[in-house]
Structure 1
Amino acid sequence: MKDEVFASVGDSLGRNQMESVMCLLAKVEELKWYRDATFHTTAWYFSSYNFTVAFIWSPFLVQPETPTVDTHSVRPIRLHLDIPDNVWVNRYHEFDYVLIGDGAGLISLQYYWRTALSLVVTSRWLELIYMNPIHLEMLDVYHLSLPRPDGHPDKYRGVEGTAHDCLHWCLPGPVDAWNDLMMAMILRHEDLLLRRSTLNIVSV
């Protein structure tokens, strides 16, 4: 993935997965990292490979009614289902690979993620798709993770008085297996692109 940019867009579960990615990649070389003033974007740069990994905080993928949203609030959160979140949509063209998290929210929240993804690959980005075809793959880790309830921090987060965390994952842990599968998918796609490129050269 030399000279490429890999981005993850999502909520705290997506951030959890990116922490696993960085634990693995940080062994390669000492890296530089950046975080914007809004804390919406964190990026890590590997200079030897001119490779960037970024995480963009967008817990719903669609536009919230107010710029600041407390995702832990019990009050209703108003979302514009027909408007993708500009935090990541305006930067879509910068990325070679984008991991869009389906999140671990309620069924109603998952509907918002699917709505946003549908908008990206149909109307809003139709021109981009024609210029640079988008390759989509789904990675379903539900059944892979189901037998590992021990992989959650639960009550062992080390912070007194906090609720048991049965949403996020310990590192190292099952989330590392997600990234092994994700990298296999990316490498398979890179190999396919290389073969197509070779065929084009031969045909010319």
Structure 2
Amino acid sequence: MRGKILAFVGDSIGRNHMQSLVCLLSQVDDPRDIYKDETDKFRRWLFPSYNFTLAVLWSPFLVKEMTKKIEGSASEQLHLYLDIADKKWTSQLHEFDIVLLSGGQWFLKAAIYLEKDEVMGCHYCPGTNFTQLGFYFAYRKALRLAFKSINTSPDYKGLTFLRTFTPDHFENGRWDNGGTCERTVPYKNNEIVMEGMNTEMYKIQLEEFEKAAKDGAARGLKFRLIDTTWASLLRPDGHPGPYRYSHPFAKDKNAKVQNDCLHWCLPGPIDAWNEFLLEMLKRESM
């Protein structure tokens, strides 16, 4: 990995994954913070002893997104352009030796979907006459376009990883209505099954990855899958829970606070994702 650049492209869970790797690599070299933008969502660290650079690029949808005011209302609506890749990451592809894509959870947001600047439909858009296409449709289109952008980039010759979908562990509600994650031990294999949204998002990833890997091989590009979904599903004990911010009970030990049952504690189960990544990198000739 000497002289290489590895880029994480995705959402806040991708950033969480990157933070884990920074911590692990810091055990052997002190990273230099060499770049961050004004939003703190695009950052780079250099590990000088190895001339290795780690980058993170914020692109939760992988495609162009815009937030627009709803006419006659103070509210805003998310618009996703499913035929336009997000240039914030595609414009930098040529710089990277390794790209690690991830994501999926942000597609649950209500959104209007467009192609060729025309509305195709939406996910959860009450009060409109748009076709309800749903977020599975949008995620498949976005992931397919992301892979196509990589496979058709004239200057990218790197290794591409896709990390699979991350389940959450909210119980007794969702993230915004009192959901919690209070378990303190992992599930055993026979204590939980993967179903519903987790299964469908995972299936979409496998199908689109297989197509992209086949197309990439014809162009001399390598694609690899980091399958973390089942291993992550077994770890309901690895989330910050009420400790998404420090000292949540300092003023009231019985306070009702919003739980984070999606992101991961550091150190914690997410470190295993990087064990997978590092083992897979060892097998590559780069």
Q: How many residues end up aligned between the 2 structures? A: 183
Instruction: Give, in whole Å, the separation in 2 of the partners of 1:30 and 1:127.
Output: 31
Given that residues 10 and 102 in structure 2 are in contact (C-alpha distance below 8 angstroms), is that contact kept between their aligned partners in structure 1?
A: yes
Q: Which moved more, 1:86-95 or 1:139-148?
A: 139-148
Write the deviation string for residues 129-187 of structure 1: whole angstroms up to 9, x where unpaired: 69x83210111211111111010111233364642111101111111001100111111
Bigger helix fraction: 1
Cα deviation for residue 75 of structure 1 reads 5.2
Instruction: Give, in whole Å, the separation in 2 of the partners of 1:32 and 1:145.
Output: 30
- 1:4-43 counterparts in 2 under 5 A? 4-33=4-33, 34-43=35-44
Cα deviation for residue 60 of structure 1 reads 0.8
Question: Aligned pair 1:89/2:90, yes or no?
Answer: yes
The 4+ residue runs of structure 1 with deviation greater than 6 A are none
Specify every segment of 5 or more residues in structure 1 that has no aligned partner in the other structure, as ranges.
68-73, 194-204
Residue type matched to 1:92 in 2? Answer: L
Instruction: Give, in whole Å, the separation in 2 of the partners of 1:75 and 1:111.
Output: 24
What does residue 153 of structure 2 align with? 125
More relative contact order, 1 or 2 (CA 8 Å, 6+ apart): 1
Write the deviation string for residues 45-71 of structure 1: whole angstroms up to 9, x where unpaired: 01111110000111111011359xxxx
Indicate the structure (1 or 2) with the bigger Cα radius of gyration: 2
Residue type matched to 1:150 in 2? Answer: D
Residue type matched to 1:119 in 2? Answer: K
SS where residue 174 of structure 1 aligns? coil
Instruction: Give, in whole Å, the separation in 2 of the partners of 1:27 and 1:186.
Output: 19
Write the deviation string for residues 8-34 of structure 1: whole angstroms up to 9, x where unpaired: 011100000011000101111222112
Using structure 2 for the length normalisation, give the TM-score.
0.58
What does residue 272 of structure 2 align with? 177
Q: What percentage of aligned pairs have identical amino acids?
A: 40
What is the aligned-residue RMSD (CA, Å)?
A: 2.5
SS where residue 28 of structure 1 aligns? coil
Instruction: Give, in whole Å, the separation in 1 of the partners of 2:156 and 2:28.
Output: 33
Equivalent residue for 1:143, pick from 210, 223, 230: 230
Using structure 1 for the length normalisation, give the TM-score.
0.79
SS where residue 52 of structure 1 aligns? strand
In structure 2, the CA distance between the partners of 1:5 and 1:19, relative to structure 1 (3 Å rule), is same
Given that residues 60 and 112 in structure 1 are in contact (C-alpha distance below 8 angstroms), is that contact kept between their aligned partners in structure 2?
A: no
Given that residues 103 and 110 in structure 1 are in contact (C-alpha distance below 8 angstroms), is that contact kept between their aligned partners in structure 2?
A: yes
Bigger strand fraction: 2
In structure 2, the CA distance between the partners of 1:77 and 1:66, relative to structure 1 (3 Å rule), is closer
